[in-house]
């Protein structure tokens, strides 16, 4: 008679931490890249203002995925070996999201000038308030990742083999 091998949930998921970290960071990088292309390349019957109003630089998973990836890499023991690089990649993703989210918000404000009815006013106000809130949440998540990056040493050094000779 054999007894089944019991494993804890913790030990069954730990080997997948690197895969989850890479997948979460990679998805956000791809998403931001395609959102940039969608925003910058005009399509039929669209303007820069309309594309800016509907840009997805500040979507919920852009807020959450890089922070989750950094927390998976750094706060579960043992810490992944590339966690400082993962934190730096997440910082770059947040910087891109805040930069282009802010730019598209400011450009998109130009489309709010033609508000005629009360429901359109509510829609315009909701767009402004919620976009500012999303910008704040992405900036807050970026600040949390910055704190983790600084706690890890705050500097990415090149291996000695890659340093130029003196």
Per-residue pLDDT of the chain (166 residues; tens, 9 = 90+): 566 665 677 677 788 899 999 999 999 999 999 999 999 998 888 889 889 988 889 999 999 999 999 999 999 888 888 899 999 999 999 999 999 999 999 998 888 877 788 988 898 899 899 999 999 999 999 999 999 999 998 887 767 666 677 6
Is 132 part of a structural domain of the chain?
yes
Q: In 10 A of CB 101, how many CB atoms?
A: 24
Alpha-carbon distance of 78 to 7, in angstroms, equals 18
Q: How many domains does the chain have?
A: 1
Is 2 part of a structural domain of the chain?
no
DSSP 44: T
Is 22 part of a structural domain of the chain?
no
pLDDT score recorded for residue 2:
67
DSSP 14: G
pLDDT score recorded for residue 54:
86
Is 91 part of a structural domain of the chain?
yes
Alpha-carbon distance of 14 to 77, in angstroms, equals 9
pLDDT score recorded for residue 161:
63
- DSSP E strands, the chain: none
Is 69 part of a structural domain of the chain?
yes
Please, are residues 10 and 76 in contact by the beta-carbon 8 Å criterion?
A: no
Is 89 part of a structural domain of the chain?
yes
Is 114 part of a structural domain of the chain?
yes
Is 32 part of a structural domain of the chain?
no
Alpha-carbon distance of 75 to 87, in angstroms, equals 12
Q: Which residues of 40-67 are buried (b: 16+ CB within 10 A; e: fewer)?
A: eeeeeeeeebebbbebbbbbeebbebbb
Q: Name the residue range of residue 51's domain.
A: 46-154
């Amino acid at each position: 008679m054999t007894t089944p091998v019991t494993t804890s949930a913790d030990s069954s998921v730990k080997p997948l931490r690197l895969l989850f970290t890479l997948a979460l960071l990679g998805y956000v990088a791809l998403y931001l890249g395609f959102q940039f292309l969608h925003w910058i390349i005009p399509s039929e019957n669209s303007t820069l203002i309309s594309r800016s109003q509907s840009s997805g630089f500040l979507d919920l998973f852009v807020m959450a995925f890089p922070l989750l990836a950094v927390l998976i890499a750094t706060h579960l023991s043992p810490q992944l070996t590339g966690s400082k690089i993962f934190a730096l990649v997440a910082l770059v993703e947040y910087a891109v999201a805040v930069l282009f989210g802010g730019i598209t918000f400011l450009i998109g404000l130009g489309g709010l000038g033609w508000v005629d009815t009360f429901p359109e006013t509510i829609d315009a106000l909701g767009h402004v308030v919620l976009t500012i809130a999303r910008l704040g949440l992405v900036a807050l998540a970026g600040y949390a990742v910055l704190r983790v990056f600084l706690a890890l040493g705050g500097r990415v050094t090149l291996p000695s083999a890659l340093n130029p000779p003196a």
